[in-house]
Chain A
Amino acid sequence: EVQLVESGGGLVQPGGSLRLSCAASGFTFSSYWMGWVRQAPGKGLEWVAIMKQDASEKYYVDSVKGRFTISRDNAKNSLYLQINSLRAEDTAVYYCARLVTGRAFYDAFDIWGQGTMVTVSS
């Protein structure tokens, strides 16, 4: 079964850091672009970041540039999101997702995890 499982969320104070993880199974992880999408409570989806199979290309939404870092370990079938300098507006469910064809950064996200909640509050 194709599956993505996120972990690492939690309650963190403003200015703090977290590292989110996403474990992939059921497909050849190293063949796909992967990314993160977030959703603030009661709000819509927000595209966050994606990266290429070999990590040679990474793209971020403007609001997280310089604070968030996407990375991957193909040997461990894992995707990561290091989030620093957290703000209240970063409070959201963070979803890990696979890009559908594995060929292009403009692909759709076809497989999604169940999400991990990040709450930024003092």
Chain B
Amino acid sequence: SYVLTQPPSVSVAPGKTARITCGGNNIGSKSVHWYQQKPGQAPVLVIYYDSDRPSGIPERFSGSNSGNTATLTISRVEAGDEADYYCQVWDSSSDQGVFGGGTKLTVL
């Protein structure tokens, strides 16, 4: 089945830019969705279809997808952005959804 690879952790100082990657074979040909999950809470959709932002999600959150890597970019990082982030795609070869392993974003 299709595998999505995320770095276990990313650290960034407040006000700086965080980039969280999601690797997969030719992931650029798929639609990638990104979720934020804070401890004890349900996930929240932050980016869908590679770069679309749901209403209520700050413009600081953006996404891109090309080749073998999709990237979630968080600009001007705030303490409240500290959370786990997951990427997700649809694997058409097995007809099922797939999540990446998740990345813990730490705001220093």
Identify which of A62, A100, A105 contacts B48 (C-beta below 8 A): A100
A50 to B84, CA, bound (A): 23
**Residues on A with beta carbons closer than 8 Å to the beta carbon of B86:** 44-45
Identify which of A59, A62, A108 contacts B88 (C-beta below 8 A): A108
Counting contact residues on chain B (CB < 8 A from A), the size range is 20 to 34
Chain B contact residues: over half helix, strand or loop, or mixed?
strand
> Among B9-17, B18-26, B68-76, B98-106, which stretch is in contact with chain A?
B98-106
> Among A24-32, A80-88, A110-118, which stretch is in contact with chain B?
A110-118
Total A-B residue contacts, Cβ distance less than 8 Å: 63
Contact with B along A39-69 (1 / 0, CB 8 A): 0000011110010000000011110000000
**Residues on B with beta carbons closer than 8 Å to the beta carbon of A115:** 42
Contact with B along A83-121 (1 / 0, CB 8 A): 000000000000100001000011111101111000000
- Chain A residues at the B interface, C-beta cutoff of 8 Å: 35, 37, 44-47, 50, 59-62, 95, 100, 105-110, 112-115
